[in-house]
Structure 1
Amino acid sequence: MKRLARVAAACLALTGAVAAAPIALQRGVGVHDWLNWAPLAADGGYRWPPYRDEDEWLSGARPLSDWPEGSQFERIRAMGFDFIRLSVDPGPLLASEGGKRQEALDILAAAVRTATSAGLKVVFNLHGVSQVPQYGMDMIYDGADSVGVAAYREMVVDVAEMLVAVGIEQVAIEPYNEPAYYPCDASGTEDWQTIMADTVADIRAVSAELTVVATGACGGSITGLTDLDPSFDDPNLLYSLHMYEPHSFTHQRHDDPESFASGLPWPASEGSAELTIAGLRAHMDAAGIDIGRQARNIIELQGVVAQYFDEDWGLPQLQARIGEAVAWAESHDIAPTRLFMGEFGAILMTPDGRMGAHNADRLRYLAAVRGEAEKYGFPWSIWEYSNPYGMSVIVPSGPAVPDMELLQALDMASAQ
């Protein structure tokens, strides 16, 4: 009966006046560590009530005393951002039902209102993680008709109803983050296409006007987007792409925490393979790494470094890649302003040179990506507000102050 009521409500909404555009978004920042990776109890399940409060969030990576008093969301607004992309662990919602799920939804509604009361809009992103395996993203990878997908879609409907109650003029729902369903070519199945289309239909059964952010598969990449058939399109849809290309530059780090991977320049023409390798050797020397371990580290990285310079990454390649998304939109009569660059960023080099890009290179890259997004008028959200890994609007350690050079690269320093 509940589903029939939703369908009837959707039919009524679609026959009435429907807002002809998504909510207005321009410049956003991801808020990830607050409501994601929901805390666990001793038995391995979710702590209840779920999610962190603000003090737990802020004290996760540095002492709470490092943070100035007052609302973080008012600070975000004062920096010049008009929205946050709020990533939320869906696990506690998937692990509960009835009154218990409603309790979790009430906590999330209050969190959203905390941000909107500071003058920010909220893109509410269900951002699945794997810490409780049965409620991680693997549950949606058994095909469009699987039990896991059905349970996930039912949860999305409950979230959509919660957000509608908060106010559709202030929020958008992004039901998936970087879904897999690889490979990103014709050898893949149509499962992701079906899942995304069906999920949009589920949300439209709740509201015709709630802004929905749809995504392609293949990790939410541009390739995943351009593989998507937007036959389910409506005027209140945005289409997501994440920009971490080339990944060898944006995510300079080694799987082995004792190894070094850093120093690729942006653009590639600002340096060379030889200079990059020499920089790595200097960092390893300073860290006291023995010659044998240094040699193994260099051998492991030589192929990645050589490929980066062979491809000569720079603004033309960046323009061409983002241009693929724009061409896809235009081919489907979708305005490029309805593309949504929900994540972009680059790791800042750590003081020991173990990972990341030199700050000047990172800033040039961020300015270039931001400039391309704004050239076409689509909203963007940088990753993220605060973390200790150098992909952060707040400096990664010490007093929690804005990274003014980063804000300048985003053309936002004048807001301070």
Structure 2
Amino acid sequence: MRRLLLSLVALMSCAAAAAAPLELHRGVGVHEWLNWAPLAADGSYRWPPYGTEAEWLTRYRPASDWPAGDPVAAIGALGFDFVRLTVDPGPLLATEGERRQEALSVLSAAVRRVTDAGLKVVFNLHSVDQVPQYGTNYINAPADTDEARAYVAMTADVARMLAPFADRAAFEPFNEPQHYPCDASGTDDWQQFMAASVAAIRAVSTKLTLVATGACGGSVTGLTDLRPAFDDPNILYSFHMYEPHLFTHQRPSEGHDFASGLPWPASAGSPEAVVAALRAHMDAAGLDAGQQARNLDAVRDPIAKYFAEGWGQSQLEARIGAAVDWARAHDIPTGRLFMGEFGAMLMPPDGTMGAFRADRDRYIAAVRSEAERHGIAWSIWEYANPWGMSVIEPVGPAVPDRSMLAALGLAQ
């Protein structure tokens, strides 16, 4: 890995001259189309690989829920200028030669489908573990391993596929790599891994915008631990903003419990109000006194922690500001930062998880506005799913969540 890195970095730094990154502003993740590649009966990838557009739209709801018209163009009509298209790299890692090219042809057609609809694409390889041998073990492996080398070689093949779309597509070769701890006391594995992939992609194309990420789950801390020695003017630097996680991902650890209702900002409510709302939801669900007591015991400490930390605007400014400070320290324009994911779970009618709509919307508006204040492009997570983070209403007619659009500055 080190020899590959040294030889390719020299080529990369000579070749990347006066490029500029693809111009991006407001995007949305599309995760259910090309991720979780469908499997055959024996657990291997179905071939040809990847789901169809129809399978994506009907995975969690009937086709009749969707309005007439072009569903991809409808994304642009909401005000988004790009899609962060997440793609399971498993079928690519499982194949070589002609079989891999067949998979890449499917993906090329999907990119063309989106760009023909007038949207740009951030093409994100988004590892999942449904076929464990081709899952996240590849990107979380030490840099000097067969898995890491195979992954880097695969990213070069993807770059060749994307090169003809360089004026409309960017390439993000990783999603949320782990490589903990996040205090710079760990190994140098992620630094080597990211740099080797940048070099391999640059050996294929200097015009293709590349999206680099730090480790530690792709967080702000992971980014600020990264040393951008491989930088060129056509690289964007990603971070995901799910802080505080206690607010953005409110959900119970047990399937039938309740964990919801933390306010945004913390100063807008109190622990007592959160507990009272939880009791009301549990009463409505018919939980008896013992069940309610057990549930409240499980959430009491997280509720106390959230209010003790007192999350609000100043903490958001500090966290996004850490990414901005990192960029400036490395002479990277803040316009080359990319907030590739953010969002918060919306509470369903039964109150089992998530935030009240007003609190979710205040949080989304605050994060989006702070990114825009620094000229940072963003992508909300995600377009359509039933899990509480969705631009499209999660059940019933597939219509936009208008209050979320307003929080995103996209009110129609």
Please indicate, yes or no, whether the TM-score normalized by the shorter chain is above 0.5: yes
Please state whether the residue corresponding to 1:48 is helix, strand or coil. coil
CA distance in 1, matches of 2:204, 2:7: 9
For 2:377 and 2:42, the matched residues in 1 are separated by 41
AA matched with 2:280 = A
For the Cα contact (< 8 Å) 1:140–1:149, is it kept in 2?
yes
Contact 2:29/2:381, CA 8 A, preserved across alignment? yes
- State the one-letter code of the partner of 1:312: G
State the SS of the aligned residue for 1:139: coil
| Counterpart Cα distance in 2 of 1:269 and 1:139 | 42
Q: 2:314 is paired with a residue of what secondary structure? A: helix
Does 2:393 match 1:399? no
- Does residue 278 (structure 1) correspond to residue 296 (structure 2)? The answer is no
Q: 1:387 aligns with which of 379, 385, 388?
A: 385
Q: How does 1:233-382 map to 2 (within 5 A)?
A: 233-382=231-380
Unaligned ranges ≥5, structure 1: 1-6
Deviations 1:303-349 (A, max 9, x none): 10001001111101111111111001000001111100000000000
Q: Write the letter of the residue equivalent to 1:190.
A: D
How big is the shift at 1:139? 2.5
Change (3 A) 1:317 1:169: same
Mapped to 1, the partners of 2:143 and 2:153 lie a distance apart of: 14
CA distance in 2, matches of 1:336, 1:316: 19
Deviation at 1:292, TM superposition (A): 1.1
The amino acid that maps onto 1:394 is I
Q: Identify the range of structure 1 (67-76 vs 147-156) with the bigger mean alpha-carbon deviation.
A: 67-76
Distance 1:330 1:13, change over 3 A: closer
TM-score by length of 1: 0.95
- SS at 1:137 equivalent: coil
Tell me, what secondary structure is at the counterpart of 1:138?
Answer: coil
- CA distances 1:68-118 after superposition (whole Å, capped 9, x unpaired): 122222101111100000000000111111111111100000000000001
Q: Cα distance, 1:296 vs. partner?
A: 1.0
Quote the residue 1:102 is aligned against. 101
Q: Hey, what's the Cα distance between the residues in 1 that align with 2:219 and 2:291?
A: 35
Distance 2:307 2:8 in 1: 56
**Equivalent-residue separation in structure 2 for 1:329 and 1:9 (angstroms):** 24
Distance 1:326 1:13, change over 3 A: closer
Q: With the length of structure 2 as denominator, give the TM-score of the two structures.
A: 0.96
Using the TM superposition, give the Cα deviation of residue 356 of structure 1 relative to its aligned residue in structure 2, in angstroms: 0.5
Q: Distance in 2 between matches of 1:308 and 1:292?
A: 25
* Matches of 2:127 and 2:110, distance apart in 1: 18
For residues 349 and 181 of structure 1, the distance between their equivalents in structure 2, rounded to whole angstroms, comes to 32
Question: Cα distance 1:57–1:252, how it changes in 2: closer, same or farther (>3 A)?
Answer: same
SS at match of 1:149: helix
Instruction: Find the counterpart in structure 1 of residue 125 from structure 2.
Output: 126
CA 309–86 in structure 1, closer or farther in 2 if over 3 Å, else same: same
Partner Cα separation in structure 2 for residue 51 and residue 108 of structure 1: 8
- Equivalent residue number for residue 196 of structure 1: 194
RMSD of the alignment, in Å?
1.6
Q: Give the % identical residues.
A: 65
User: Structure 1 counterpart of 2:33, which letter?
Assistant: W
Cα displacement (A) at 1:266: 0.2
Aligned partner letter, 1:329: A
Residue 228 (structure 1) aligned with residue 226 (structure 2): yes
Please state how far the C-alpha of 1:293 moved relative to its aligned partner: 1.5
1-side partners of 2:14 and 2:197: how far apart? 20
* Partner of residue 3, structure 1: none
Contact 2:191–2:227 (CA under 8 A) maintained in structure 1: yes
Partner amino acid, structure 2, of 1:91:
G
Question: Following TM superposition, by how much is the alpha carbon of 1:141 offset from its aligned partner in structure 2, in angstroms?
Answer: 2.7
